[in-house]
Chains A and B, each alone.
Chain A
Amino acid sequence: MTALATAGTQPAHRPSVISGFFPIIRGLIFAVVGFAIGAAVAAGIRVATGAPAWAPTQTSSVGTIPSTEQIVTVGFIFAVPAWLLGVGFLETTVRQWFGYRTRPVVTDWRRYLTASEDHKVIGLQYLATFVVVLLVAGLGAMTMRIQLMQPDNQFLTPDIYNRVMSFHGIAMVSVAVAAVMGSFGNYFVPIMIGARDMAFPRLNALSFWLIPVVIVSLFLSELLGGWDSGWTAYPPLSVRNASGQVMFNLAIIVFGLSSILGGINFIVTTIKMRAPGMTWGRVPIFVWSVLSAAFIASFFTQFFAASLTMVLLDRLVGTNFFIGQGGAPLLYEHTFWFYSHPAVYIFVLPGFGMALEVLAHLSRKPLFAYRWAVAGFIGIVGMSGIVWAHHMFVSGMPSALLGPFLVTTELISIPTGLIFLSALGTVWMGRLWLTTPMLFALGFTFNFLIGGVTGIFLADVPTDVSLHDTYFVVAHFHYTIIGGEIFALFAAFYFWFPKMTGRMLSERLGKIHFWMMFIFFNLTFLPMFWAGLHGMNRRIATYQNDLAQVNLFISINAFLLGSSFIFFVFNVLRALLWKKAPRAEANPWRARTLEWLVSSPPPVENFPSTPIVVGSPYGYGTGGRPHAVFALAGASDEEVTA
């Protein structure tokens, strides 16, 4: 409420656009200064130990260690806290602690460019950031498809192709990890459980403001030669390649930190901050899915960070975790996949949750077998940590491990099947309102079915020996991640956009976007299964001549898939910038969950008074109690049904 009180003291004139960017500019200046200090410290340590302050290369027992990498690493370690300080993270707290005058809290549009601790602001910051990353990484995919239009194409050099491919990979993985949880999770989990904010608002701000570090570092790595080891960064390649690899490792370690902090925040928020009456049986399915993903993020992410740290040490100080005498490249593969397989459930579980949420509200049906769907989520979390080595069936690990991992991988299809039961049962006998979000949720179900069925061929060792690292795999995981998670992301985007902005998106443009995306997504990725079976391996800049036609077909459809986003971007800009864009009422979908019981967008701290949850979020057609009521402040005996 303090934010509202200070609003009256704002100057009457419109703030200039530049003033809005002040925290970010200050953050960048601080980061540069921090980097310079760190670089000087590194150079100083080198001089103190008798080495030249900077030398292009330095020979050691493992080959050469460029001193640039040591200097960049220490500079980076100093630049990150400097950036956070500059952008205003903890600024008020620090000023109060030392007794300095604090600045008034900004309440207009400029708050989206500050280290705000409001979960709705942070949610929109995540959303805007990752929509941009999604589009940029998508342009990377378009670039790759231009190269692959014909064999032996000279459009990109092999080096540039490998770097674009690696960037596309990690940028899309970051979208998959954080776009859904960071944006919709942050915005809607607190509202849907009846809380006023996340449990740790400052931690939440920290989680977000580490993200620009990650993205900027990935771009800056190109100045150091980029990295060509894909998003998997297997050593020894990632110990021997260009110095850009160091920036990749540092960036992704920071990204992991952000992910772990976010995960802890969601766990505590969901367990401790639910409104009165919000029993576990009344928690919306989306919240369950985010909670499940949060457990995975906070349990497993450190394994990836540890693996990347070991790679860094091999490069920077000549340890031999993965190279040289006693180096164990398979160790990396195990620790890497010990995170990175569970990570795919961080991608898709919130996708499942969002799709089920939209299917229930827009079918006007109770979510079918709700408790079994929750059991499915918990089952997936429980089993996510014991399937990782199915990525390593042909890695040379002991063949005694093949059978056990085949078994666990087939077992995890059982809880996943419960999600399909819930989806199919929910639309059955419903009143399907085929709006854009509903189309995306239905498209999700179709695409994920193909992704799931083709996964069986890769879980089975005999077929995986043949299909591993081919375009069959590329097609499979794009079906689960784009066809699954990203379709669910757009279902959520079209569903919740009116709530977040108070504006309505155009249904006509939304439907054009859906149909183009759905059709050309399938025409792009379905032929990739065929290409994989016919000997097209993944991560290659060129291929055999007899694969020319199918690749041309894939490329053309990929461009059309890419162009569908023009309608999306136009639709969003039209709704936000056009003064006559239709305004959203509080509950345009006539849905039951808590976020629809408050204004669009919701007020600061979300609710006029504490909501009291009295019924199921999905009680459609029962004529029973609403999901929640508000106790009016100062009139506690009077209740307003929403």
Chain B
Amino acid sequence: MRRHIAIVGLIWVVLTFLGLIAAQIVFQPAVFSDKGQIIDSTFKTLLIMSVPVFTFVIAALGYSVIAFRHRGQPDEDGTPITGRGPLPLAWFVVTSAMALGVMVYPGLTELPNVVHLDAQPDVVVRIQGQQWRWSLSYPQSGAKSNTEMVLPVNQKIGFEITSIDVIHSVWIPAFRMRIDAVPGLTTYMSFTPTATGDYSTDSGLRLQCSQLCGLNHAAMELPVRVVSEADYQTWLAANGGGQSGGGSGGGQPVSVEASTGAASAGFATKTLNATSGQPITFTFHNNDQGIVHNFALTANGKTYATDFKPGPAVTTVDVPALPPGTYSFVCQAHPTTMTGTLTVK
């Protein structure tokens, strides 16, 4: 009996030593945020803590199988140890202490570091999910994007996240951060990107939906680019930034309407007129009860779109001065049936 225990103890020590060496392997890809670094180090702490537990069971189980196996049907019974007395109690106390330990550190001690929200982030990004794409807006500058997410490095980013249809989840693997986008609810997340990079060099830099949301769930992703402050400002300006956020930019007013049944009947106002050389503010009246629509105008290779909202709702979008010509607009939720043209004279 003593000899068996000694051998298992020895195996345990050797396996634990090997396990701790193996735990030094970096299992994660490159990390791009401050909270991601905390998460990765928490992962490693847990990995190191779990090694002796794992190797203890493997040593005891593996040794028993090899040392106590019997060729063919055993002709006698094993040693009748029933396991009463102090041993199970000791096991209970030790495992309880381990559970409490891992609960406190790194569990409860690191928890606030990962989930706390910055009261005053440097940059606010609003993310809106819908089947099956993301729309971003930067309310401080008025910039909008639904083709990529651009963030400045080393600035506190505060995200405000919602969804207009089903539950989605905002996940950026390189930042290690995630929060669900829930219709009817705004969820929050904040962190600071710590290195520049983009999706073309690191596939973890992508905004991926990680909550099953129907048909094209797997393809619901957006490239993410972390850039310097100067590049960030340039990008904002090129994407509608620099105006006061949230519409009514004081351009010439143009009103658009969608009424009940618009998904098949199209916009109530299919032709619009405006004057060249002046900015335009489009006000979109969605009077289609419970149905999501928006107004999106394509001009100069850019798309100017209002937010998706179920009716009744009023949304606005500002468009800079346009040269004379005809431009097409659509509802991005119903791009085949809801179309129209804007004539600028």
Interface residues on B, range: 35 or more
A329 near B182 with CB under 8 A, answer yes
Q: Mark B53-86, 1 if CB is under 8 A from A, else 0.
A: 1100110110011001110111011111111100
Does residue A364 face the partner (Cβ distance < 8 Å to B)? Answer: yes
Query: Which of A411, A457, A461 has the most chain B CB atoms inside 10 A of its CB?
Result: A461
A364 near B218 with CB under 8 A, answer no
- Cα distance A553–B232 when bound, in Å? 41
A621 near B212 with CB under 8 A, answer no
Give the chain B neighbours of A544 by CB distance below 8 A: 203, 206
Does residue B99 face the partner (Cβ distance < 8 Å to A)? Answer: yes
Does residue B214 face the partner (Cβ distance < 8 Å to A)? Answer: yes
Known: A329-B183, A465-B39. A162 touches B217 (CB 8 A): yes
Q: Which residues of B218-250 have CB atoms within 8 Å of chain A's CB atoms?
A: 218-219
The total number of A-B Cβ pairs within 8 Å is 283
B108 near A407 with CB under 8 A, answer yes
Known: A429-B68, A533-B28. A372 touches B92 (CB 8 A): yes
Binds B, one of A124-132, A442-450, A558-566: A442-450
A460 near B215 with CB under 8 A, answer no
Majority SS of interface residues in chain B? mixed
Does residue B265 face the partner (Cβ distance < 8 Å to A)? Answer: no
Give the chain A neighbours of B42 by CB distance below 8 A: 460, 462-463
Does residue A95 face the partner (Cβ distance < 8 Å to B)? Answer: no
Q: Which residues of B146-205 have CB atoms within 8 Å of chain A's CB atoms?
A: 165-167, 169, 171, 173-174, 176-180, 182-185, 187, 203-204
Identify which of B99, B169, B183 contacts A327 (C-beta below 8 A).
B183
A537 near B171 with CB under 8 A, answer yes
Give the chain A neighbours of B291 by CB distance below 8 A: 63
Binds A, one of B111-119, B293-301, B313-321, B326-334: B111-119
A449 near B54 with CB under 8 A, answer yes
Whole-angstrom distance from the CB of B62 to the nearest CB of chain A? 9
Does residue A158 face the partner (Cβ distance < 8 Å to B)? Answer: yes
Does residue B290 face the partner (Cβ distance < 8 Å to A)? Answer: yes
- Cα distance A530–B187 when bound, in Å? 29
- Cα distance A534–B31 when bound, in Å? 11
A237 near B167 with CB under 8 A, answer yes
Binds B, one of A103-111, A215-223, A336-344, A420-428: A420-428
Question: Closest B-chain residue to A535, C-beta based?
Answer: B173
B169 near A330 with CB under 8 A, answer no
- Cα distance A539–B212 when bound, in Å? 7
Does residue B1 face the partner (Cβ distance < 8 Å to A)? Answer: yes
B29 near A365 with CB under 8 A, answer no
Q: Mark B79-122, 1 if CB is under 8 A from A, else 0.
A: 11111100110011001100110110011101101110000000
B203 near A545 with CB under 8 A, answer yes
Question: Closest B-chain residue to A396, C-beta based?
Answer: B187
Known: A421-B88, A449-B54. A363 touches B183 (CB 8 A): no
Does residue A437 face the partner (Cβ distance < 8 Å to B)? Answer: no
Give the chain A neighbours of B73 by CB distance below 8 A: 433, 590
Give the chain B neighbours of A323 by CB distance below 8 A: 183
Does residue B276 face the partner (Cβ distance < 8 Å to A)? Answer: no
Identify which of B38, B70, B165 contacts A236 (C-beta below 8 A).
B165
Interface residues on A, range: 35 or more
Whole-angstrom distance from the CB of B131 to the nearest CB of chain A? 9
Q: Which residues of A501-559 have CB atoms within 8 Å of chain B's CB atoms?
A: 530, 533-535, 537-546
Give the chain B neighbours of A459 by CB distance below 8 A: 107
A364 near B78 with CB under 8 A, answer yes
A63 near B91 with CB under 8 A, answer no
Does residue A630 face the partner (Cβ distance < 8 Å to B)? Answer: no
Give the chain B neighbours of A414 by CB distance below 8 A: 92, 95-96, 99
Does residue A394 face the partner (Cβ distance < 8 Å to B)? Answer: yes
Give the chain B neighbours of A62 by CB distance below 8 A: 290
Give the chain A neighbours of B216 by CB distance below 8 A: 158
Does residue B345 face the partner (Cβ distance < 8 Å to A)? Answer: no
B210 near A399 with CB under 8 A, answer no
Does residue A395 face the partner (Cβ distance < 8 Å to B)? Answer: yes
Identify which of B78, B166, B177 contacts A240 (C-beta below 8 A).
B166
Known: A329-B182, A542-B219. A364 touches B203 (CB 8 A): no
A425 near B83 with CB under 8 A, answer yes
Does residue A241 face the partner (Cβ distance < 8 Å to B)? Answer: yes
Give the chain A neighbours of B203 by CB distance below 8 A: 535, 544-546
Does residue B211 face the partner (Cβ distance < 8 Å to A)? Answer: yes
Binds B, one of A48-56, A184-192, A270-278, A466-474: A466-474
Does residue A366 face the partner (Cβ distance < 8 Å to B)? Answer: yes
- Cα distance A428–B4 when bound, in Å? 9
Give the chain B neighbours of A429 by CB distance below 8 A: 1, 4, 68, 78-79, 81
Give the chain B neighbours of A622 by CB distance below 8 A: 80
Does residue B213 face the partner (Cβ distance < 8 Å to A)? Answer: yes
Whole-angstrom distance from the CB of B90 to the nearest CB of chain A? 10
Identify which of A61, A396, A442 contacts B289 (C-beta below 8 A).
A61
Does residue A159 face the partner (Cβ distance < 8 Å to B)? Answer: yes
Give the chain B neighbours of A403 by CB distance below 8 A: 108, 111
B187 near A535 with CB under 8 A, answer no
Q: Which residues of A213-272 have CB atoms within 8 Å of chain B's CB atoms?
A: 228-230, 232, 234-237, 240-241
Whole-angstrom distance from the CB of A275 to the nearest CB of chain B? 23
A621 near B218 with CB under 8 A, answer no
A237 near B176 with CB under 8 A, answer no
A456 near B82 with CB under 8 A, answer no
A399 near B115 with CB under 8 A, answer yes
Known: A236-B183, A421-B88, A543-B218. A449 touches B57 (CB 8 A): yes
Does residue A20 face the partner (Cβ distance < 8 Å to B)? Answer: no
Identify which of A406, A427, A431 contacts B74 (C-beta below 8 A).
A431
- Cα distance A63–B165 when bound, in Å? 12
Interface CB pairs A-B, < 8 A, 17: A228-B212, A230-B212, A240-B214, A327-B184, A329-B184, A364-B78, A396-B187, A407-B103, A411-B103, A422-B83, A428-B68, A431-B70, A445-B57, A462-B107, A468-B178, A533-B28, A534-B28
The 5 nearest A-B residue pairs measured at CB: A369-B83, A621-B77, A621-B80, A431-B74, A540-B218
Interface set of A (CB-CB < 8 Å, partner B): 61-63, 158-159, 161-162, 228-230, 232, 234-237, 240-241, 323-324, 327-330, 363-366, 368-372, 394-396, 399, 402-403, 406-407, 410-411, 413-414, 417-418, 420-425, 427-434, 442, 445-446, 449-450, 453, 456-457, 459-463, 465-466, 468-470, 530, 533-535, 537-546, 590, 619-622
- 5 further A-B contacts with Cβ under 8 Å, apart from A530-B27, A533-B29, A537-B210, are A63-B290, A365-B79, A460-B110, A469-B169, A534-B28
